[in-house]
Chain A
Amino acid sequence: MNILARIRRIPFWSWIWFILGALYFLLPLYATVNFSLRMERDVIGFKAYVRAFEDPDFLKTFMYSNMLALMTILASIILIVPTAYWIRLRLPEARRVVEFITLLPFVVPAIILVFGLIRIYSSPIKIPFTDTTLLQPLTTFEIGTDILIVAGYVVLGLPYMYRSVDTGMRTVDVRTLTEAAQSLGASWFTIIVKVILPNIRAALLSGALLTFAIVVGEVTLASFLGVPAFGPYLFLLGQHRAYEPAALSFASFLLTWLAMGLIQLFTGGQGQASGAH
């Protein structure tokens, strides 16, 4: 009754815009699903899905991208958590500069990032001002390229990860918590592991899932650095096949939704543990 009454109170035009928006979003999705189910003539079935998942390259590239995503998430946590923590604690005046830096990936296109990376790291790494070579060009061997691409992904994920972590730290007042822990005798390591990390885990998770979503679908960096990642695979598949890419697109949609659901679940759980006073 109550809900019905409330729905009725929403103005007519709001409904129109809402429905239009929903259609704009849902129609293509519906078309994709519908199309992906019609690989066999006159039969609705999952053949396209079976085909797509059966392709050994699918599994290989997908696992590889997952590995990249994991590395990226780890690297960005190690880079960003201490940075954001230190800024909150000791260098509040540095916040603006760091926020600006973290927003750069929105301004500088990935294509420019990847060309920069290739230009700099396709020559051997030397000790400055000498001819002693430290390392072969990173682009010439597999692990080197992996390092490069993970570094690139850390940059691309920076806006999401930094913002999540920083917001997480704001909501728990890390500064006072740190001082409380210090006065109880805790070392820096203990403070970060036992006090800070557990209290920003929801923020870390949402940052991690967003990073994951970016890395798994990324095409530009992966194809220009020539790694066997999922993004370029999907792109290639799209050029040669019709039904399988549709199936995979929908599958990745589901994956994203699952991720969002997980965020909701964990942040909901953490909202309880942190609680507002």
Chain B
Amino acid sequence: MTHLSLKNVSKHFGDFTAVNDFNLDVNKGEFVSFLGPSGCGKTTTLRMIAGFEIPSTGQITINGADITNKAPSQRNVGMVFQSYALFPNMTVAQNIGFGLRIRKEKEADVVDRVKEMLAIINLEKKADSYPYQLSGGQMQRVALGRALAIRPEVLLLDEPLSALDAKIRIALRAEIRGIQQKLGITAIYVTHDQEEALSLSDRIVVMREGEMDQVGTPFQIYNFPTTVFVANFVGTLNNASAEVVDPAKSIIAIDGIQFESAVDLKERKKGDKVRVAIRPERFNFVSQEKKANIVDCRIENITFLGSIVRIQVMIGNSKFYMDTFNNPFLELPKIGDKDQVTCSREAVLVLDE
């Protein structure tokens, strides 16, 4: 069931287009991330849903009701900011109860609801602390509790974790997802961190320069990017220009070295220029596993990344990365070695040049 819907939404600042023709239907209880590089219009889109910006054109509805021009205070939309934005003059409990007291709810109900939220965000002991007495992670949890206390239709989060350090970021990420699923609340999450988007979302909207580039589940976005931009932005990706050799058999060639792809190339002609994209982890050394595409390569560089070893190889004149799991009992190749690598047909993505 569609809960939140954006139809043909655009936003211009003067003659600059920050968001162009944005279309999205979000289901009740769905967690959708807006992912994209800085300045691509994620925040602007979120602020239009919150009511802090009015779309230049288009329509935004919640439960079918048009809210495009409603004041932010009338939308019942919860917002979590990167900078926490807790009221410094109020305690944790007062911050959480603020929205309820504005709604003139009975004091006893407010107290109950605040208790409930404190339990959910796991900060019962800090009810009477002031924001300055909390850590960043705790402040952001309070902000989350404050936004959820009013039982909002939609929860909006604008890079809520980017001011926190890596460990807390990952812990709080899981916590946010857990709370969202438990309450079954519809959430829109803005981030430029692909790992965050992949791990949290039901669906991801990848944005570029104000446009939606691709919408899909994390699985689709990562494994089947439809544009070079998405392929590059999400995860590490090898890509090289190639030429179609045999459209019927889906064979392409990089510098004359042939690869077989699972992508249907019947629409293309022999000699067409295309871009080939292969994830580093889809490569294997031939000695380890036998696959469809076996090509010669030369080892250029080896980088140790902890659980993963990233090996840079030359295939023809194109550089490729390949990732293998770190295994202390396996011998790594040496720089300058000639070797053979392989990857499955499915690993070979063919995109427009």
Contacts and interface: CB of A to CB of B under 8 A. Distances in A.
B89 interface: yes
A173 B85 contact: yes
Given A176-B83, A276-B132, A277-B84, A185 B89 contact: no
Interface residues of A, number: 24
Interface stretch (B70-78, B165-173, B203-211, B226-234): B70-78
Contacts, number: 84
Interface string B275-300: 00000000000000000000000000
Contacts of B74: 185
Contacts of A184: 73, 98-99, 102, 146-147, 150
B14 to A, nearest CB: 13
A179 B85 contact: yes
Contacts of B136: 277
A168 to B, nearest CB: 12
B88 interface: yes
Given A184-B102, A186-B102, A277-B136, A176 B81 contact: yes
A185 B99 contact: yes
Contacts of B143: 180
A82 interface: no
A187 B72 CA distance: 10
A179 B139 CA distance: 17
A91 to B, nearest CB: 16
B22 interface: no
Contacts of A199: 87-89
A182 B72 contact: yes
Interface residues of B, number: 34
B132 A274 contact: yes
Given A179-B79, A180-B81, A186 B73 contact: yes
A185 B85 CA distance: 15
A60 B23 CA distance: 72
A198 B73 contact: no
B88 A180 contact: no
Contacts of A78: none
A277 B132 contact: yes
Contacts of A179: 50, 52, 72, 79, 81, 85
Given A184-B150, A185-B99, A177 B73 contact: no
A133 interface: no
Interface string B318-345: 0000000000000000000000000000
Interface of A: 172-173, 176-177, 179-187, 190, 194-195, 198-199, 272-277
Interface of B: 50-52, 71-79, 81, 83-89, 98-99, 102-103, 130-133, 136, 139, 143, 146-147, 150
24 contacts: A177-B85, A177-B87, A179-B72, A179-B81, A180-B79, A182-B51, A182-B72, A182-B73, A184-B98, A184-B102, A185-B73, A185-B74, A185-B103, A185-B150, A186-B73, A186-B99, A190-B102, A195-B87, A199-B88, A272-B132, A275-B88, A275-B130, A275-B131, A277-B136
Given A183-B73, A190-B102, 12 more contacts: A172-B88, A176-B83, A179-B72, A180-B85, A182-B71, A185-B73, A185-B76, A186-B98, A273-B88, A275-B88, A275-B130, A275-B131
